């Protein structure tokens, strides 16, 4: 939107935009929403997965953001703080729904012949299969796995988001990776056993 002189208004810095939001400036809140909406959507998708009701969660995030912004003191970057809100909202939804184990079963049914679960990461619909496994992993381990192995954060960055020390983050990540890849390998073994030829006596050859 141009000013009366025909010049574009100067883009507010993050700090100035937050300050105006804290003062209850509705225009600033609209600008804040438009500036961060896509980042929030991407984060929610990564936390919740393709079947995670991301649009509903988006509303929850910004309700919490504008409720909590008056208490924001700038001790962390606004992007880190937003990640924290997204993760908390995502965890609340995961815990409420605590997806059923059928998700893991459907992963095994959907894997094509002769394809390992790890190679499934390269497929166009891989996210659905990855999250089928992640749905079976405890929320706190799931979150650090996503922030590390999908988002690409290091342990210090993750600790800032989840508000745990780096050692706790590394421990959760270790067990999350171990569980994830064990289940991925088990799904491949299940598929191979299911598709093994059956001999005349009714057993698998």
Domains and CATH numbers, the chain: 10-98 (1.10.1740.10), 99-195 (1.10.10)
Q: For residue range 28-86, what is the model confidence (pLDDT) as tens digits? A: 999 999 999 999 999 999 898 876 688 899 999 999 999 999 999 888 889 999 999 99
Percentage of the chain exceeding pLDDT 90: 45
Q: For residue range 135-151, what is the model confidence (pLDDT) as tens digits? A: 899 999 999 999 999 88
Burial state string for 47-64 with b = 16 or more CB within 10 A and e = fewer than 16 = bbbeebebeebbebbbee
Q: Give the tokens for residue 192.
A: 């191979």
């Amino acid at each position: 939107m141009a000013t009366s002189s025909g010049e574009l208004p100067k883009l507010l810095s993050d700090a100035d935009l937050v300050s105006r939001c804290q003062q209850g400036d509705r225009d600033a809140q609209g600008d804040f929403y438009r500036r961060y909406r896509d980042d929030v959507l991407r984060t929610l998708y990564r936390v919740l997965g393709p079947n995670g009701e991301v649009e509903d969660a988006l509303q929850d995030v910004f309700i919490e953001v504008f409720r909590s912004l008056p208490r924001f003191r700038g001790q962390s970057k606004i992007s880190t703080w937003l990640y924290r809100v997204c993760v908390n909202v995502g965890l609340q939804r995961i815990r409420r729904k605590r997806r059923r184990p059928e998700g893991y079963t459907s992963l095994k049914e959907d894997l094509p012949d002769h394809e390992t679960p790890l190679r499934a990461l390269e497929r166009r619909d891989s996210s659905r299969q990855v999250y089928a496994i992640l749905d079976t992993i405890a929320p706190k381990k799931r979150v650090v796995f996503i922030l590390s192995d999908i988002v690409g954060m290091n342990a210090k960055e993750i600790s800032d988001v989840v508000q745990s020390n780096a050692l706790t983050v590394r421990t959760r990540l270790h067990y999350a990776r171990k569980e994830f890849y064990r289940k991925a390998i088990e799904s491949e073994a299940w598929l191979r056993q299911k598709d093994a030829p059956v001999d005349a006596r009714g057993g698998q050859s």
